[in-house]
Structures are given as structure tokens and as C-alpha cells.
Amino acid sequence: MKSIKQLIIVADALLKTNVDLEAVRSWEKITLVALVALLGPLHYYTENFGRFTMKKNRQGQLAGTGF
């Protein structure tokens, strides 16, 4: 992914389709890497995104929507 804008476009597309869990997990990993590169590993957003996406519940599934 070249930019945050692209990550948001992909997330929007994932939300509008049948949930492909493999695609969602891939997006989460790529997004976490992008956040670490952009903000650093100790930034509030990076830490919380990583923590919430590790959860395999509804809260974890919704973690990216605020992004």
C-alpha cells in the first residue's frame, strides 16, 4: 500500500462486501505496519489498533472503522 488513503479505500471496500476474514486479517496487518512506520510503535493509535485487532470479537472487528 502506498498511502493511508489506499488503506482507507481498501477498508471501505471490505466493509461493503461479504466479509472475507483472510482479506480483513491481511488489511489489519498491513495497516498496523503502516501505522508503526508513520507514527511509531508506541503511539496511542498504533498501540490501540494493534491491541483491538488482536481480539477476535466484535470490538476487534470494528477497530479499523475509526481509522
Cβ within 8 Å of residue 39, ≥6 positions away: 45, 46
What pLDDT, on a 0 to 100 scale, did the predictor assign at position 66? 53
What pLDDT, on a 0 to 100 scale, did the predictor assign at position 37? 93
User: Is residue 7 a contact partner of residue 33, using CB atoms and an 8 Å limit?
Assistant: no
Counting the structural domains of the chain, the total is 1
What pLDDT, on a 0 to 100 scale, did the predictor assign at position 61? 55
Q: Which domain holds residue 10?
A: 4-66
What pLDDT, on a 0 to 100 scale, did the predictor assign at position 64? 54
Tell me the average confidence (pLDDT) per consecutive run of 10 residues in the chain, 67 residues long: 80 80 86 92 92 70 54
